Amino acid sequence: MTYIKPIFRHPKLPKNKIGYTLKEYEGAISNLCAGCGHDSISTAIVQACFDLSIEPHKVAKISGIGCSSKTPAFFLGNSHGFNSVHGRMPSVATGANLANKDLVYFGVSGDGDTASIGMGQFVHAIRRNVNMVYLVMNNGCYGLTKGQDSATADQGSKSKAGSINPFQPVDLASLAVELGATFVAQSFSGDKGQLVPLIKAAIHHKGFAFINVISPCVTFNNNVGSTKSYDYVREHMEMTSKLDFVPQESEIKVDYEEGEIAQVTMHDGTRLQLHKLENEWDPKDRLSAMNAIQRARAKEEIITGLLYVETRFGDLHDILGTSDIPLNKLTAKELNPGGAALVEINNGFN
Amino acid sequence: MSGAINQVSRPSQVNDFVVRFANVNGTGSASANFLFAKAIFRMGIPVTPKNIFPSNIQGLPTWYEVRVSEKGYLGRREGIDLVVAVNAQSFEKDIQSVRAGGYLIYDSTKKMHNNLIREDIHYLGIPMMEMCNTHFTDPRQRQLFKNIIYVGALSVLLSIEFEVLETLLAEQFAGKEKLIAPNIKALKLGANYVLEQFQYPLDFHLQRRDLVKSKILVDGNTACGLGAVYGGATVVAWYPITPSTSVAEAFDKFAGKLRVDKVTGKKNYAIVQAEDELAAIGMVIGANWNGARSFTATSGPGVSLMNEFIGLSYFAEVPAVLVDVQRAGPSTGMPTRTQQSDVLLAAYASHGDTKHILLFPSTPKECFELTAKSFELAEYLQTLVVLMTDLDLGMNDHMSEPFEWDDNHEYNRGKVLTEEELENMGRYGRYLDVDGDGIPYRTIPGTHPTKGGFTTRGTSRDEYAAYTEDNKAYQRNMERLLAKWETARELVPAPEVYHEANQHNFGILFYGTSTYSSEEAKDILEAKGIGLDAVRIKAFPFNATVKDFIASHQQVFVIEQNRDAQLRSLLMMDLSIAPEKLVPVLNFDGMPITADFIAKSIASHLFQEKHLQHDLYQTHI
């Protein structure tokens, strides 16, 4: 099926600080199933990039294979995308990031793409603290091959065909915290109010920003008995906090009661303001984040919001000590040592 | 024991012999053995050292073979004239490896068993362990200097100039000068023992020459790493695997010296040790997609793992450079032995219709040049380029022409559109064949705010990079890739043809590390009246010169180091050549091919096919 997207733009569409309308951040019309959670996430990405006034071409979208990995075509149409191979988005994103540190990198993946075939690369992208937003559209099943359980399907969750998943799930958020990811969040595709500020915060985080978004598969995993259905997730969601993302130049408006506010200053001076709904949890403390996730799990709740953030560590470029100028902008002048240096090298071998 | 010397020695030979050292891995023999080889090189005499080592860090047998050739032949030669046997584990085998009339140097501290005595070789016993125990107290020194003692002994037996050894030690221990004196002492212990106990020099020995000139002694992996620095690589991702590891290490070493900003101290490169080969090639593809020159180095097992990504590079047309330092397969095979057995794997890596550009260097200088060149080709053709070296070329030192770089050369990044070009053009189509050469125009992320953006994908797409399952669009794209392949055919390095005009009915064709021995075999046969024309392949796809060469000979011997005659198959497939035109000459035991083997194989074939008289065949080889 071919969709032609209308190019008409209302002249009074609001523009952001750099003069773009929301339209400039949209992509092709989605060919995912109507009602797919993934499309809501695409919309949230569009909104976050518009709000932050990011130039569309300064974003690179990289994905693996699967329904989720198709979405980069459906947002930020003026940005370059790379729909690569199954489970290997992290390595492609790592290489791309090394080539040019100045772009915003969206790594888009699914639960099959990350928690099964791509587990190894996911783990190592975290270890390296690659500066990227790593977004998993998690629906607990393989949609594109018609509904098989994925590794994030909960034990006891019922598939559309009626079978019960007997295996323990991979909990990506706790895994990310455990591995030392420097930004870990969890959200729900149906909660745009929470997702948009989370994505903004993730973009501003310098380092590996992981967002696990529960994103129901309306076709294969939205049935009664599934723990990844819209109804189930809505009933079992437990927010850690209400999050505001505060741009660098803005005043902080304190709307909350003193003591309930947690503030996090990011590398670039922007701030996160968290209205905590969970008293025993401190987003800057790894142990308490881990405890909060495990407590929620024991209560069969899905904890959402920003779970953990650590801003003290440098990203992969800081670790490697690469030049401030992106490597892909360097010319032969900086890169080629020239014939004279070669004479000296030859002398070392004779 | 000076043993049963009842064999008539060969006439005195100058600068033409093979010495083999049999050591225990991890005992410090490598630097002593290299000192020996380098000293000969410094005396202006062509030398070829080969390290025959185990897949082990400490304890297993290891050998170091040094060929000296006045005529400048750099391949391995059969027939070992002198063996230094200091490894008890392999001692019996090492005795057997000496040619009749040759010499065995051994540690005579302990008495050798009588049944180890061969009547047809000379035994030169030196009490190395005893000497070490007498003259050194530190246990590590006692072990290390055993090696230096035999080098000292060889210096007298083979007429190595002592001053050359002294100079080399001074260079080696610059900054650690206190180590020089005990090394010299050990050298003299060995030398003096020979002066007192044996006749010297041996019937084969060295004489200073001026045959080395400006040549350098260096391994291919070092040259590849350096070539990548000169070629402008900025992102390197790799996973450790023998025998390729030292390519990445060499890049890191050279870049650490040559690519660090003097003011900021920051690096104009990034090197990442990946979690596996899949991630390594993934990073390379990501970096190239984003406009950086990027490469990885691996060996056969790594290439097997990279197959899926290699197909993506081909189909999505993302440049990538891969150095394949081949080793003996299949599976884990013989990880520390050499072969040219990844040719077909690399040529057709990945599922579906794919084929890839291969470059075949045969010297360290070519490793340097072709590594740099591979970035140009990969970017210009927007595809994967595989540099096919092997363990022999990569890890052994070779006498090579020095590295050269033309400072006027500018990097050719291929068809990449700038912001201005995008601004001033009509609709951009990533996969449109604008120039009719099959090579489309690419854009780098971040170039233009609203034009030139597209989604790169491994799925089928139309000329404007939009996903499509339209059969005609798919086929058009596959045919354009084929057109690009034909463009590549004349862009890759042309073969080296050894004569201006073909003179003989038969030809030989070779590539990579089969080159030295093939050239020598050609001379051996020519001296016996069997003339052969020769061509050396430098790249796949094969260009018209290769086709013409084969067409103009009755038969062509294809010399290679694998079991299945892989390059021969590639020639047949790529150029539609009839199988009977190409005669395989194959060495695949993991040891570098020798000229004797090649000459013998060719003569034997010509005799069987009745192109050669029986007596001629008999007397030749």
**Does the pLDDT of residue B561 top 90, yes or no?**
yes
| Co-location of B326 and B353 in the same domain | yes
pLDDT tier at B101 (50, 70, 90 boundaries)? very high
**Does the pLDDT of residue A114 top 50, yes or no?**
yes
H helix runs in B53-157, sequence order: 91-96, 128-135, 139-157
Give the 3-state secondary structure of residue A15. Answer: strand
A223 Cβ under 8 Å from any chain B Cβ: no
- How many other β-carbons are positioned within 10 Å of the β-carbon of residue B474? 15
Q: Encode pLDDT of B567-616 as tens digits.
A: 999 999 999 999 999 999 999 999 999 999 999 999 999 999 877 765 55
A2 Cβ under 8 Å from any chain B Cβ: no
**B5 domain-assigned:** no
A19 Cβ under 8 Å from any chain B Cβ: no
Rounded to the nearest angstrom, the minimum Cα separation between A246 and chain B is: 26
pLDDT tier at B620 (50, 70, 90 boundaries)? very low
Contact B290 A345 (CB under 8 A): no
Q: What percent of chain B has pLDDT over 70?
A: 97
**Does the pLDDT of residue B619 top 90, yes or no?**
no
**A229 domain-assigned:** yes
Task: Report the DSSP pairing between strands A141-142 and A132-138.
Answer: unpaired
pLDDT tier at B8 (50, 70, 90 boundaries)? very low
* Number of structural domains found in chain B: 4
Q: What percent of chain B has pLDDT over 90?
A: 92
The pLDDT of B515-540, averaged and rounded, is 96
**A221 domain-assigned:** yes
The domain boundary, picked from B205, B235, B260, lies at: B205
**Does the pLDDT of residue A4 top 90, yes or no?**
no
Domain with A69 in it: what CATH number? 3.40.50.970
**Does the pLDDT of residue A315 top 70, yes or no?**
yes
Q: How far apart are the first and last CA of chain B?
A: 35
Contact A345 B403 (CB under 8 A): yes
**Does the pLDDT of residue A253 top 60, yes or no?**
no
**Nearest CB to B312 within list A77, A84, A100:** A84
- Tell me if B376 sits within 8 A of B416, measured CB to CB: no
Q: Encode pLDDT of B170-215 as tens digits.
A: 999 999 999 999 999 999 999 999 999 999 999 999 999 999 999 9
Report in angstroms the alpha-carbon separations of B287 from B234, B281, B435, B595. Answer: 9, 10, 26, 43
Report in angstroms the alpha-carbon separations of B413 from B203, B319, B573. Answer: 58, 10, 31
As a whole number of angstroms, the longest Cα–Cα distance in chain A is: 77
Enclosing domain of residue B367: 218-400
| Co-location of B174 and B230 in the same domain | no
The span from the CA of B620 to the CA of B47, in Å, is: 26
> In the structure encoding, which two tokens stand for residue B430, read together?
């990533």
pLDDT score for A3:
53
**B408 domain-assigned:** no
**A159 domain-assigned:** yes
**A180 domain-assigned:** yes
**Nearest CB to A57 within list B289, B406, B446:** B446
Q: Which residues of B touch A84 (CB under 8 A)?
A: 282, 285-286, 312, 456, 458
| Co-location of B456 and B595 in the same domain | no
**B475 domain-assigned:** yes
**A331 domain-assigned:** no
* Number of structural domains found in chain A: 1
Residue B321 parent element (H or E): strand B320-326
**Does the pLDDT of residue A262 top 80, yes or no?**
no
> Phi, psi at residue B421, to the nearest 5°?
-60, -40
Residues 6+ apart with CB under 8 A from B93: none
| Co-location of B538 and B435 in the same domain | no
| Co-location of B140 and B92 in the same domain | yes
| Co-location of B478 and B506 in the same domain | no
Quick check: bond before B361 cis, omega within 30?
A: no
**Does the pLDDT of residue A1 top 80, yes or no?**
no
| Co-location of B53 and B173 in the same domain | yes
pLDDT score for A245:
78
- Tell me if A305 sits within 8 A of A243, measured CB to CB: yes
Q: How far is CA A236 from the centre of its chain?
A: 22
The pLDDT of A322-350, averaged and rounded, is 96
* Mean per-residue pLDDT over chain A, rounded: 91
The pLDDT of B288-305, averaged and rounded, is 98
Q: How many residues does chain A have?
A: 350
A88 Cβ under 8 Å from any chain B Cβ: yes
**A6 domain-assigned:** no
**Does the pLDDT of residue B428 top 70, yes or no?**
yes
Domain with B386 in it: what CATH number? 3.40.50.970
**B89 domain-assigned:** yes
**B3 domain-assigned:** no
pLDDT tier at A103 (50, 70, 90 boundaries)? very high
Q: Nearest residue on chain B to A18, judged by CA atoms? A: B449
The pLDDT of B74-86, averaged and rounded, is 96
**Does the pLDDT of residue B78 top 80, yes or no?**
yes
**Nearest CB to A94 within list B286, B288, B403:** B286
pLDDT score for B418:
97
- Tell me if B46 sits within 8 A of B399, measured CB to CB: yes
The pLDDT of A256-272, averaged and rounded, is 72
**Does the pLDDT of residue A326 top 60, yes or no?**
yes
**A143 domain-assigned:** yes
| Co-location of B549 and B459 in the same domain | no
The span from the CA of B616 to the CA of B602, in Å, is: 13
Rounded to the nearest angstrom, the minimum Cα separation between A241 and chain B is: 35
pLDDT tier at A247 (50, 70, 90 boundaries)? confident
Q: Encode pLDDT of B219-273 as tens digits.
A: 999 999 999 999 999 999 999 999 999 999 999 999 999 999 999 999 999 999 9
Q: Encode pLDDT of B357-401 as tens digits.
A: 999 999 999 999 999 999 999 999 999 999 999 999 999 999 999
**Does the pLDDT of residue B52 top 90, yes or no?**
yes
The span from the CA of B319 to the CA of B492, in Å, is: 15
The pLDDT of B6-18, averaged and rounded, is 72
The pLDDT of B60-77, averaged and rounded, is 96
What residue has token string 């509904």? Answer: A147
The span from the CA of B84 to the CA of B397, in Å, is: 20
Enclosing domain of residue A125: 22-323
Domain with B130 in it: what CATH number? 3.40.920.10
**A50 domain-assigned:** yes
Q: Nearest residue on chain B to A60, judged by CA atoms? A: B445
Contact A337 B288 (CB under 8 A): no
| Co-location of B173 and B246 in the same domain | no
**B42 domain-assigned:** yes
Residues 6+ apart with CB under 8 A from A280: A288, A291, A292, A295
- How many other β-carbons are positioned within 10 Å of the β-carbon of residue A122? 26
Q: Encode pLDDT of A185-198 as tens digits.
A: 999 999 999 999 99
The span from the CA of B565 to the CA of B583, in Å, is: 9
- Tell me if A88 sits within 8 A of B278, measured CB to CB: yes
The domain boundary, picked from B152, B184, B205, lies at: B205
